[in-house]
Amino acid sequence: MKNHPFHKPLFLQPLTSLQNILLFFILNFSLFILPFSCQKAENIYYTGARVSFTYTYTNTVPELNAALGGFGEFCSVRLNGNNFIFKGLKSTTTRPLTAVDTRVHPQLGLSGLIVGCPNIPEMGSDIARVVAFDLACPCYNDFSSTRNLDLQAGGLAHCSRCDRTYDLNNQGIVAKGESGRPLFRYRASYNQFGNTLVVNN
């Protein structure tokens, strides 16, 4: 059946008042729900624990320098009294807090940090960038009592409590053991020319 010369196709006809109202609510609901969806997705990876860590002269700490300068290398960072403790697979270095550190009160999340450069770029990126995870295993719901992860060869971290092994080269997902959420993460940036690492949230 041919269209009447004065009859417009349905998609070109003006919307009725009811259709306008429905369209208005649909668009506004979508704009309202989108930020919460993004926030929920981000909460899968990021913990709300306070992190504020800046370390200059990373090249003076062998374990940290190796983790930031090579692919698939990682180093844990803990705060013990007035000292930073940097631990790699084979060695540990202790550095006292500087006067600046003492003044700004560094915060290292729930239990400390794991930092390094994965050998697999994350989805949407063509190069691997420095990442930072919390040293606490997510199996602890009570964050007042955390269990530190142990670094293992091959870019892995193991929890002796839940017996899970996490892949630090692949966004901290569970590589071995019972399925579970990935490691908690923090935002990290590294200036190799200024030898400065910044981790925060």
> DSSP string covering 125-179, please?
-SS---EEEESB-TT-S-TTS--B-EEETTTEEE-TTT--EEETTTTTEEEESS-
Per-residue pLDDT, 37: 35
Domain match, 111 and 195 both? yes
**Three-state SS at 39:** helix
Write out pLDDT tens, residues 97-121: 988 888 888 999 988 999 999 998 8
Listed residue (133, 91, 93, 90) closest to 111, CA to CA: 133
pLDDT at residue 41, as a whole number: 39
Is 17 exposed, middle or buried, given 0-12, 13-18 or 19+ CB atoms closer than 10 A?
exposed
Task: Give the tens place of pLDDT for each residue, 148-177.
Answer: 899 999 999 999 989 999 999 999 999 999
Do 97 and 149 belong to one domain? yes
Residues 86 and 32 in one domain: no
In a domain, 29, yes or no: yes
| CATH code at position 137 | 2.102.10.10
The two structure tokens encoding residue 64: 């940290």
Is residue 37 domain-shared with residue 77, that is, in the same domain? Answer: no
pLDDT at 34 over 80: no
Domain assignment present for residue 6? The answer is: no
Number of domains in the chain: 2
Percent of the chain with pLDDT over 90: 56
Residue 3 domain-assigned (yes or no): no
Q: Report which of 148, 146, 143 is spatially closest to residue 76, judged by C-alpha positions.
A: 148
